[in-house]
Amino acid sequence: MTEFTRIQALSKVSIALSTTLRLDEVLYKAIVECIETLNFDAAVIYLLDENKEYFIAQHFYGIPTETVKHMKKLPTDSIGGVVAASGKTVVTEDLGQYYHQRPQLEGFKSLMSVPIQVKKKTIGVLDVFTKEYRVFEPEDISLIESIGLQIGVASENAKTFLELEESRQLNADLLAMQVDMQERERQRIAQEIHDSLNQSMVGLYFHLQYCRDEIDRSPDHVLAVLDKLLSMTKENIQEIRQIIYDLHPVALEKYGFLGAVEELISRYSQQGLMEIDLYIQGNPSRYHAKAEIYLYRVIQEAINNIYKHAHTKQASVSMYFESTEVRILIEDQGIGFDLTHKLKNREAYGLLGMKRRIDDLNGRLTITSQPAKGTWIEVLLDGEHHLRKDRDPQDD
């Protein structure tokens, strides 16, 4: 093979790999160009599985259909395993010695297995076969190794592109869910006002009109009605306070972040809804208003989810305050759930809202849950960055 032919072959493969960022297409184009340009008879691209226990075939070329099913999955003690372990090419010019182990290879005489690497780590192998005995020249080996490296780089680019696409889609879904959540919240508040306050205020109006008309004729009866109206007004005030609290917990301003969380937990206990243990370690500080309200909302949403869905009356909230980090754990031993299923079916509005809030603070939220094994939510935040100074401009 001349130097010109070698450069031409590499150029063809490079051009083919640069025309797409889809991993499946990348691997297909690589294997087609490799075979057609270099006159091999067959090839297989294998990538290691996540646990690095097997090689999983990604694409075949020139392999008989009846043979493909026997080559889809290979153990790491095969020739490919030697390549992956050493990071070096293995050339087998006479495959006959392996026919008893892999009879599916009987149609081929020679094999070259080169590593597919990303950042010097082997992620798979490229196997090329010939149907006639072939002595692989150093130039052949060098060329296929170069193609293996190109496949590795292209695969990594495709993987990065896929992750970016998934991230963009997730952000789009989060935005759509956030808008939907806001609309649902508006509808909930409107429904609450209509069902309770509006009806109650209408009742108050007619009762007061009655009292005005009857005050001279039946003062004692009117007095009893007024007592009832006072009780109704008191209930309305409580409902208004609850709606205002749901919109913006005044406890944050009154007691600070920690005090507001304590008040939230206390309300669940006082109403007999759920017992929540609160653990605090370190020296609590005040944070920017945005950080405090977002952290509070995450805890509030997590506790509300436990109350509504976990089928348990026990939970715990642990908060660790360090000089540079805030760590919050919300745990329960309830029925748990399949997070992947919920995300796929868009049943995780609250959870995604929690994640969006923490992402907006440049923090990290981790949700771990399994059916029948409870749920564990961890929040990590740079406490020093969000620490409130003498005056918080976000409070203006």
Tell me what pLDDT residue 71 has: 81
pLDDT at 141 exceeding the cut of 60? yes
Beta sheet of 54-61, edge-to-edge order? 73-75, 54-61, 42-48, 121-130, 110-118, 90-92
Q: Report the pLDDT averaged over residues 111-135.
A: 86
- Determine if residue 338 is left, alpha or beta; phi over 0 gives left, psi from -120 to 50 gives alpha, anything else beta: beta
Q: What percent of the chain has pLDDT over 90?
A: 14
Coil, strand or helix at 62: coil
Region 269-279: what's the mean pLDDT?
91
- Residue 195's pLDDT is 67
Q: Give the per-residue pLDDT at 13.
A: 64
Model pLDDT, residue 393 = 46
% of the chain at pLDDT higher than 70: 80
- Which range is most confident: 33-37, 197-201, 280-284? 280-284
First to last CA, the chain: 75
pLDDT at residue 113 greater than cutoff 50? yes
Please report the pLDDT score of residue 261 as a whole number: 92
pLDDT at 169 over 80: no
Radius of gyration of the chain (CA): 34
For residue 57, give the H/E element and its range: strand 54-61
Long-range CB pairs of 36-40 (<8 Å, 24+ gap) are 37/8, 37/9, 37/12, 37/13, 38/9, 38/128, 38/140, 38/143, 38/144, 40/128, 40/129, 40/130
Contact (CB, 8 A) for 343 and 367: no
- Residue 42 has a pLDDT of 87
How high is the pLDDT of residue 293?
Answer: 87
| Range ranked top by mean pLDDT from 142-146, 339-343, 362-366 | 362-366
Rounded to two decimals, the pTM is 0.49
Instruction: Give me the pLDDT at residue 165, please.
Output: 77
pLDDT at 314 over 90: yes
3-state secondary structure 291-341: HHHHHHHHHHHHHHHHHHHCCCCEEEEEEEECCCEEEEEEEECCCCCCHHH
pLDDT tens track for 182-232: 667 666 666 766 666 777 777 788 888 888 888 888 888 888 888 888 888
What confidence score (pLDDT) does residue 396 get? 46
Cα separation, 13 vs 250, in Å, equals 64
* pLDDT value, residue 180: 66
pLDDT, tens digit (0-9, with 9 covering 90-100), for 60-73: 888 888 888 888 88
Output the average pLDDT for the chain: 80
343-393 confidence digits (pLDDT tens): 666 667 778 888 888 988 889 999 999 888 899 999 999 877 777 765 454
- Residue 15's pLDDT band, with cuts at 50, 70 and 90, is low
pLDDT score, position 265: 92
pLDDT category of residue 3 using cuts at 50, 70 and 90: low
**In the prediction, which pLDDT does 316 show?**
95
**Residue-level pLDDT at 335:** 92
For residues 51-60, average pLDDT: 79
pLDDT at 225: 83
Joined tokens for residue 142: 């060098």
C-alpha distance from residue 292 to each of 80, 161, 163, 242 (Å): 54, 35, 31, 20
Q: With b meaning 16 or more CB within 10 Å and e meaning fewer, what string describes 312-334?
A: beebbbebebeeeebbbbbbbbb
Q: Which of 283-287, 317-321, 341-345 has the lowest mean pLDDT?
A: 341-345
